[in-house]
């Protein structure tokens, strides 16, 4: 008789303690009972993608499976699957493992530094040389809104990524235009000048702040680089243009999938953290899509582990 094998897969927020606790329990089950358990490749998401994944799970569920419904309502920061079916959150998974297979699991877990595991995993994630990672902090009407962190597709769009990174750090300083106007090449203290409900937010006009201007580190404009990144989800970061090859400093962040933007606007990154901040900006009161009170990028730069 072939013994039934439980194939475990864990999906969760890579930066959360829940995710790493579930990983630890699963590894103990597999190492202690290799004929009874196997473990698939875990999937650790950034906060933004994890929230989207949870929403997708909820939408796919018809509510008829009571056990699945309970897990969805109490999921926290990790989902544990058994043979393809959603079975546990981290707490119920570890409790089940303790009762059935690992009586000393709670004591063993007390000796593990899970916050450090989460810290190390996040640090490794944002050290990936295929991408660049930056952040922006926002305020509205003088009050802090929070931070949004971005993953930029450096291998696909190296020139566009370099422009955005340098405007976040401000490392290029200022330039003087032919009319003697001084332009500070930085997003710091620039405005979010447009908010389109269920569409996108727009900012980065470092010249006048009203959406009519902008300037890149390469000059007034620079050419389109790549249209490979699709606008297939919320949180896509791209360059505003006024026609082909007119990218400068203005950028947008989608608030919903926007397939109509494909091959018209150059996307080069995505939001990985700060979904609540993005929601707060999207809910700002506007008149003709312009915020009634100023929404400002108060601080920006290279994303580091905090």
Q: Does 221 map to a domain?
A: yes
96 and 145 in a single domain? The answer is no
Within this chain, do residues 136 and 116 fall inside the same structural domain, yes or no? no
pLDDT single digits (tens) 169-180:
999 999 988 777
Q: What pLDDT does 73 receive?
A: 80
Q: What is the pLDDT of residues 188-246, one digit of tens each?
A: 999 999 999 999 999 999 999 999 999 999 999 999 999 999 999 999 999 999 999 99
Query: Are 62 and 110 in the same domain?
Result: yes
- Give, in degrees to the nearest 5, the angle at Cα 261 between 257 and 264: 165
- 159 and 223 part of one domain: yes
pLDDT of residue 306: 73
Give the pLDDT confidence score for residue 164 in this predicted structure: 99
Looking at the structure, do residues 99 and 206 belong to the same domain, yes or no? no
- Virtual CA dihedral for 16, 148, 294, 262, nearest 10 degrees? -130
What is the structure's pLDDT at 66? 62
Task: Specify the pLDDT at position 3.
Answer: 60
Number of compact structural domains in the chain: 2
Residues 295 and 175 grouped into a single domain: yes
pLDDT, tens only, 186-195 = 999 999 999 9
Q: What's the pLDDT tens digit per position in 65-120?
A: 767 777 788 789 999 999 999 999 999 999 999 999 999 998 999 999 999 999 99
Question: Is the residue at 49 inside a domain?
Answer: yes
Give me the mean pLDDT over the 262-269 stretch.
98
Which domain covers residue 82, as residue numbers? Answer: 6-121
> How confident is the prediction for the chain on average, in pLDDT?
94
Q: Last residue of some domain: 121, 144, 170?
A: 121
Phi/psi for 27 (5° steps) reads -65, -40
> Taking the CA of residue 124 as centre, how many other CA atoms within 13 Å lie in the half-sphere pointing to its CB?
10
- Residues 139 and 263 reside in one and the same domain: yes
220 within a domain of the structure (yes/no): yes
State whether 100 and 226 are in the same domain.
no
Q: Is the pLDDT of residue 122 over 80?
A: yes
Name the pLDDT band for 1 (thresholds 50, 70, 90).
very low
Looking at the fold, whether 13 and 85 belong to one and the same domain comes out as yes
pLDDT for 5 beyond 70: yes
Indicate whether 1 belongs to any domain.
no
- State which of 94, 121, 148 marks the end of a domain: 121
Q: For the chain, what percent of residues have pLDDT higher than 90?
A: 88
Backbone angles phi, psi at 186, to 5 degrees: -155, 150
In-domain check, residue 126: no
Residue 59's domain is classified under what CATH number?
3.40.30
Residues 165 and 256 in one domain: yes
Residues 284, 163 share a domain: yes
């Amino acid at each position: 008789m072939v013994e039934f094998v439980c194939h475990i897969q864990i999906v969760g927020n890579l930066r959360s303690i829940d995710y790493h606790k579930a990983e630890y329990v699963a590894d103990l089950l597999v190492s202690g009972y290799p004929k009874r358990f196997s473990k698939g490749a875990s999937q650790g998401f950034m906060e933004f993608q994890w929230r989207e994944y949870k929403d997708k799970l909820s939408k796919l569920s018809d509510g008829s499976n009571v056990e699945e419904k309970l897990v969805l309502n109490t999921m926290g920061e990790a989902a544990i699957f058994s043979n393809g079916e959603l079975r546990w959150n981290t707490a119920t998974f570890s409790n089940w493992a303790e009762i059935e297979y690992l009586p000393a699991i709670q004591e063993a877990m007390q000796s593990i530094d899970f916050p450090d595991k989460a810290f190390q995993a996040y640090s490794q994630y944002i050290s990936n040389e295929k991408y660049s990672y930056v952040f922006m902090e926002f305020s509205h009407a003088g009050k802090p809104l929070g931070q949004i962190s971005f993953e930029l597709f450096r291998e696909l769009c190296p020139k566009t990524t370099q422009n955005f990174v340098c405007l976040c750090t401000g490392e290029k300083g200022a330039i003087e235009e032919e009319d003697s106007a001084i332009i500070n090449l930085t997003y710091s203290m620039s405005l979010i000048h447009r908010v389109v409900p269920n569409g996108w937010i727009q900012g980065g006009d470092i010249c006048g702040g009203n959406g009519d201007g902008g300037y890149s580190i390469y000059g007034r404009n620079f050419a389109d680089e790549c249209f490979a990144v699709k606008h297939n989800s919320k949180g896509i970061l791209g360059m505003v243009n006024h026609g082909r090859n007119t990218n400068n400093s203005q950028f947008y962040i989608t608030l919903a999938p926007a397939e109509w933007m494909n091959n018209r606007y150059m996307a080069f990154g995505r939001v990985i953290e700060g979904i609540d901040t993005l929601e707060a900006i999207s809910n700002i009161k506007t008149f003709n899509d312009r915020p009634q009170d100023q929404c400002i990028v108060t601080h920006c730069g290279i994303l580091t582990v905090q």
